[in-house]
Structure 1
Amino acid sequence: MTKDHLGNPITDTDPALIAAIDAFIQGFLAYQPQAVTILGLIEQHPGSCLGNAYAGMLYMFLESTMAPDLARPYAERALQAAGNPREKANAQVLAAWVAGDIPQVVRLAEESARQWPGDLALIKLGQYHLFNLGDAAGMLRIALHALTHAEDTPYLHGMIAFGYEQCHLMPEAEAAALRALEIEPTDPWAHHALAHVMLTQGRVDEGIAFLESVSGDWADLNSFMHTHNWWHLALFYLSRDRQDDALAVYDSHVWGREKDYSQDQIGAASLLARMEFAGIDVGERWQDVADHVARRGADTTSPFLALQYLFALERARRPEAATLLGAIEARAATPAHDRLAWEEVALPAARGIAAHARGEAALAARHLGRALPRLQEIGGSHAQRDFFEQIHLDALIRAGALSPAQQVLELRRGYDPTGIPLNRQLAQVYEGLGLPGEAARARARLPGRAP
């Protein structure tokens, strides 16, 4: 019986196709560009159930309005092809994804995780969709199905670590990430999970030292993982006010790999905004990001993505921002499984972003304030969604709402106690509130300032 390199039985027998299937699995789990190898072979194997399913998944990962049309022929071939039950499950997951039936994708993926815990690619795909739905507990649960079957596989422990972290279970997340790195020290998703833990716990200097020590392992990763792990390092640099280092990371690693890719675009947009909120002059960098985002048109593939596209367009004063805002409003009125996330979370957030760009700070704060308590429903990680918290904070300060801004800043200080931009903001807010003693204490936390 033919098996993939994880030990799952497969019906294909052609050695080249089997190698391409293994390349997809390894590339998907380890964020390596070899995952796309299957695209160069699949036209020679129209009867391969698993091969066509994997090819279609790659197109869906484009996260764009054109992705379903590109992936649909592969889903149809995969469904029609002969295959074992696990392979058929992969085809059914792809077909549901192409059809936009994400609840069905999640149901099928979790059923498959129970039946075939060795299919780590399908489990990771399920975790991806649960992440986009903001279901942190589901992310952890689906990964844990495979623990007894794949205990020696590092990439599983990285998935488990991220599930724990998104559930706010930091000791468990760190232990799982370290277990992954015991098996495979170069695992970038385990690096990523540890970065999240250290950021959440305010271990900024430790985070810088760790990520710098493993950054050499990211050079040949796919665009998303290369740019995203560097993005995390830039967040640590911002806390330490290492402005030149943050700009260098942006220019050398975060922007410039795959400028048409969704994740690269939102990483660039959110980092540029965070740098500006930290007091950094980013020059004309917004224009290039907005040029590429504008080509997406009215892309409402995901609320999490669309809001960041909107911010980039608004910040660059692009007329396409109005079109995208209109598309978000239309999506919020369209019946779908995620309508409430669009209507009650994404839409007020979008209106807040637009108001922020117009300089209507008080209105921006009100709109964003409505969205923030339920922001998890649009997907993204805690660290990524913090971008919207920072827009809200900036709006509060600009609106002169210093008392609520003080509340937000002190809560943020709980996980960034020595953050330099944060304590500078606190000092300014306390001065505005007529609390010079607290302002002095905030300034004392800045480098070189005595209490």
Structure 2
Amino acid sequence: MTADRHGHRMSNTGADALVHYERALDHLVFFRPEVVEAADAALAASPRSVMGQVLAAYLGVLGTEEKDAAAARDTFLRFRSGLDEETLTSRERMHLAAAAAWLDGDLHGAGRLLGDLTVAHPRDVLALFAGHQHDFLTGDAQRLRDRIGGALGAWEPDDPHRGPLLGMYAFGLEESGHYERAEEAGLEALARHPHDVWAIHGVVHTYEMRGRFTDGIRFLDARTEDWSDGTLLTVHNWWHYALYALEMGDAARVLEIYDAALHHEESAGVAMELLDAAALLWRLYLAGEDQGVRWARLADAWERRDDGAHYAFNDAHAVMAYVGAGRIGLAERLVADRQRWLAGAAPAVSNRAMTADIGLPVCRALIAYGRQEYGRAVDLLLPVRHRLHTFGGSHAQRDAVQRTLVEAALRARRTELARTLLSERIQLRPVCPYNWSAQARLEEQLGDPERAAAAREKAAAQAAW
């Protein structure tokens, strides 16, 4: 029986398939699109390779694409139907169970199984990568940090895969609020592999959360060739660049990035990229910027997907696009469809709770905001604001929803609530031009022009850093 580079035995996997499998893992941890070709080559060489089939199954779900997941599930079921699992290693059986749970929609069950797997096999790169992405998709910051942190002690300092693991750890640290340690881990990863786009992404998040927008732009500019083209994370890292530009008040640069990188005629139309485009335009929408043509094209792209209920986080961004384009009817149709789906969804399907508890309230609040029913938007968002993480994404991504609550409170003239929300934001992120510009508008509502002017000056000064 063959074994991978870390000594894990691999059933039904020939030498050629092993080479392709290892190459696929290298592509996977560095977010290279070539991972698909390498995974296919592994299965072409050994169609009954258990780990080759498991890898293909994970690739089917990691992108949150409903149709890809359905196709992967069909293939995986056919593979398992003729498989004698008693002949496999315990690690392979655990992977099969985790992949099956995820394909059946039980994300949380899959996450627990992957956690058990990495306790038993802390040097299983595929389990660590899939588990890390699972924790991101379910918004579990502590597991995002500790799943990787708990395994790193088993890795030798010179192992080539320790670098990308440090990049993953950086993101988990950042989402848990350990910004300096996260930056340190991310830079260590990049010292090993300068093209590690997930490590770049982790460091970029630390700058975002600390209001170091100029540092973030300089960091990305200095590494442009390492992240700006040809990776599965290219669009998302451009989104981060645009967020920096937005905070600094450079609207022209924001739109230049949007048109060149986030959404254009040649965009792939995948959910992960469309939601970045929606999240950026929604921030402009909250600021009163008219982006009618861009909204229309983005709404068209979401509508062409014709998604069913699969991942509530995606649904919220589709609704942003529909509301931004003035297509309230489409947004309401999506909400009605998800409400009907809930009636028949199995309790074990993780998206059921994600949709019922968070997705639908958020979608309804976005629609209410688009209808200028600001009080209703507040009433819908207020009960879920501390639980938004449970439907996935990062703090930076979910801030589009948190800002919607702030803007709705201001527009509904709920001044006491707006004061509380802005105080929370400013104490947590004192360097954030948006926070201070919103504070200025609040002070104007409260009838204090001097405090409004001071807040406005602070916002302008921070944008110029």
- In the alignment, which of 296, 302, 307 is matched to residue 293 of structure 1? 302
Q: How far off is 1:111 after superposition?
A: 1.2
Q: CA shift at 1:15, angstroms? A: 4.4
Q: 1:104 is matched with which residue? A: 109
Can you list the C-alpha shifts for 1:227-246, whole angstroms capped at 9, x where unaligned? 11111111111110011111
Match of 2:392 in 1: 379
Contact 2:183 / 2:206 at 8 angstroms: preserved in 1?
yes
Change (3 A) 1:332 1:388: farther
Equivalent pair of 1:164/1:170 in contact (CA under 8 Å): yes
Which residue of the other structure, out of 201, 222, 229, is the alignment partner of 2:237?
229
Give the RMSD, CA atoms, in angstroms: 2.5
Aligned AA (1:305): N
Q: Which moved more, 1:7-16 or 1:106-115?
A: 7-16
The question of whether the paired residues in 1 share the 8 Å contact of 2:247 and 2:434 is answered with: yes
Tell me the CA shift for residue 283 of structure 1.
4.2
8 Å contact kept, 1:365–1:392: yes
Alignment-derived partner of residue 421 in structure 2? 408
Q: Determine the structure 2 residue equivalent to 1:123.
A: 128
Alignment-derived partner of residue 39 in structure 1: 40
1:275-314 to structure 2, matched below 5 A, reads: 275-314=284-323
1:256-335 equivalences under 5 Å are 256=264, 258-318=267-327, 319-333=329-343, 334-335=345-346
Contact 1:269 1:308 (8 Å CA) reproduced: yes
Question: Quick check: 1:147 aligned with 2:152?
Answer: yes
Q: What TM-score results when the alignment is normalised by the length of structure 1?
A: 0.91
In structure 1, the residue matched to 2:177 is 168
Tell me, which stretches of 5 or more residues in structure 1 are unaligned?
none
| 8 Å Cα contact 1:430/1:436 also seen in 2 | yes
Whether contact under 8 Å (2:13, 2:46) holds in the other structure is no
1:64 is matched with: 65
How far did residue 47 of structure 1 move? 1.3
Pick one of 205, 221, 243 that aligns with 2:251.
243
Deviation at 1:375, TM superposition (A): 0.9
Q: Which deviates further from its counterpart, 64-73 or 262-271?
A: 64-73
Distance in 1 separating the partners of 2:441 and 2:142: 39
What letter corresponds to residue 4 of structure 1 in structure 2? D
The residue identity in structure 2 corresponding to 1:372 is R
Q: Is the 8 A contact 1:202 1:415 kept in 2?
A: no
Give the drift of 1:74.
3.4
CA distance in 1, matches of 2:357, 2:19: 46
Shift of 1:68: 3.5
Q: Distance in 2 between matches of 1:119 and 1:239?
A: 40
CA distance in 2, matches of 1:167, 1:282: 34
> Contact 2:168 / 2:198 at 8 angstroms: preserved in 1?
yes
Matches within 5 A, 1:338-417: 338=350, 339-414=352-427, 417=430
Q: 1:253 aligns with which of 254, 258, 261?
A: 261
Distance 2:115 2:434 in 1: 43
After superposition, the Cα gap between the structure-2 partners of 1:278 and 1:90, relative to the gap in structure 1 and judged at 3 Å, is same
Moved over 6 A (4+): none
Tell me which moved more, 406-415 or 240-249. Answer: 406-415
Which of 343, 347, 351 aligns to 1:336? It is 347
The answer to whether the 8 Å contact 2:148/2:168 transfers is: yes
Quick check: 353-362 or 133-142, which moved more? Answer: 133-142
Instruction: Quote the offset at 1:41 in angstroms.
Output: 5.3
Q: Is the contact between residue 272 and residue 286 of structure 1 (CA under 8 Å) also seen in structure 2?
A: yes
Which residue number corresponds to residue 50 of structure 1? 51
Q: Percent identity?
A: 29
Change (3 A) 1:251 1:139: same
Q: CA deviation at 1:429?
A: 2.5
Q: d(CA) in 2 for partners of 1:401 and 1:222? A: 44
Relative distance call for 1:5 and 1:217 in structure 2 (3 A) is: farther
AA in 1 matched with 2:71: L
C-alpha displacement of 1:317:
2.9
8 Å Cα contact 2:378/2:405 also seen in 1: yes
Deviation of the 1:54 alpha carbon: 1.2
Contact between 1:68 and 1:99, CA under 8 Å: does it hold in 2?
no
Q: Deviations over 1:236-274 (max 9, x none)?
A: 111100111111111122224643211001001001111
Distance in 1 separating the partners of 2:19 and 2:99: 21
Distance 1:283 1:100, change over 3 A: closer
List per-residue Cα deviations over 1:266-285 (Å, max 9, x = no partner).
00100111133345443411
Which residue, 194, 207, 225 being the options, matches 2:203?
194
1:393/1:408 contact within 8 Å kept: yes
What amino acid does structure 1 have at the position aligned with 2:29? L
